[in-house]
Amino acid sequence: KQVVLLPGDGVGKEIMQSAKVILEAISNEYGYSFTFHEHSIGGDAIDKYGVPLPQQTVEACKEADAILLGAVGGPKWDNISAHNRPEKGLLGIRKEMGLFANLRPIKGINALLSASPLKEEFIKNSDILIIRELTGGLYFGEPSERRDNGNSVVDTLFYRRDEMERIIDKAFQQAMKRSKHLTSVDKANVLESSRLWREVVEEKRQEYPEVEVEHLLVDAAAMKLITQPNAFDVIVTENLFGDILSDEASVLTGSLGMLPSASMREDHVGLYEPVHGSAPDITGKGIANPLGMILSTAMMLRHSFQMDEAATEIERAVNYVLDLGYHTPDLAKIGQKAITTKEMTDLI
């Protein structure tokens, strides 16, 4: 399998090293073979090539079976003009590769619940999969421009019906593999795009009669994630709502550093990255939490390579090490066994 590695910025390089170690262990154990191709993205690419997404990175990704990404961005590039910022690399690769389906699983891990901002009775037993549309909506709609000599401004929330259909179909498929409950989030009392979205959900559910479907307004969803996170199974929503809600959900369990994500298209090619950012404050110290990256690697094995057994083994190893009480310093609240990135990786 050809795997493109995009370490990116900040702790991205350190945690990408962990991904490699884990994949090498897996290939030894199972006889798989992974070939790594490392390329630049984000601030790192701006420094080296002057742009956040160099052409050779795009080309390598297009040849790959899967992509692992560390993190992009950092204060060093914060004052660069909007059109050449590190994040443009991330938005660009999603669009160039057509990675329309962002999968973000959020599961409370018992050993870590004491680090959650939520009381245990609220957060326990939560197991949510947020599915966010990733290549449409306000992120890419045109026009997006100043008007009237800069005295007004417009952005455009545009969706094609088939863009809605494919992400909603993906969500139903995932719901079928889980508890068969799907919450579709929109703002149908205000937005025409949300009303079309709701119609598409209503059409699709005919194909999946076993799945229980609930529609929730985005403001109500933002509340319910906090008051009843364990009432959710799969959540599907458009790009910007997904950005906000998945980040909101990511802090509920108290272990942001552990959360993985996958960005997929219709075939099995995907880009996998931890949910946390580049963490400039701890970069270079060797203490970054590699678990988000390692669990993203497990998602790659499962979703891109159908190596379910290997994926499950990684996930069990992570839980086992956490159950023993080991953790990186970002989870210091939960006990005394704080270890480094490398120690954590070796234990897994």
Ligand X SMILES: CC(C)[C@H](C(=O)O)[C@@H](O)C(=O)O
122 interacts with, out of ligand X, its own copies, none, CB within 5 to 8 A per kind? its own copies
CB closer to ligand X, 9 vs 313:
9
Options 47, 62, 219, 320, the catalytic residue: 219
- Regarding 243 and contact with ligand X (CB under 6 A), the answer is yes
Pairing of strands 2-8, 101-107: unpaired
Segment near its own copies (CB under 8 A), from 46-54, 160-168, 174-182, 258-266? 160-168
CA atoms of 70 and 53, how far apart (whole Å): 14
- Asked if 248 interacts with ligand X (CB under 6 A), we say no
Under rule CB under 8 A, residue 150 binds its own copies: yes
- Least distance in angstroms from the C-beta of 226 to its own copies: 5
User: Would the annotation count 52 as a binding residue?
Assistant: no
Find out whether 288 is annotated in a ligand binding site. yes
- Judge whether 139 counts as a catalytic residue: yes
Give which of 40, 57, 56 is closest to 48, Cα–Cα: 40
DSSP line for 256-287: GGG-EEEEE-SSS-EEEEESS---GGGTTTT-
Q: What single letter denotes the amino acid at residue 104? A: R
Cα gap 288→284, rounded to integer Å: 9
Which residues between 56 and 95 bind its own copies (CB under 8 A)? Answer: 82, 85, 87, 91
Cβ partners under 8 Å of residue 112, min gap 6: 253, 254, 255, 258, 322, 327, 331, 334
Count of CA atoms in the C-beta half-sphere (13 A) of 41:
30
- Determine if 190 is a binding residue for ligand X (CB under 6 A): yes
Choose which of 33, 55, 79, 189 interacts with its own copies (CB under 8 A).
189
Residue 239 marked in a binding site: no
Question: Is there a catalytic annotation at residue 155?
Answer: no
What residues make contact with ligand X under the rule CB under 6 A? 87, 90-91, 189-190, 219, 243
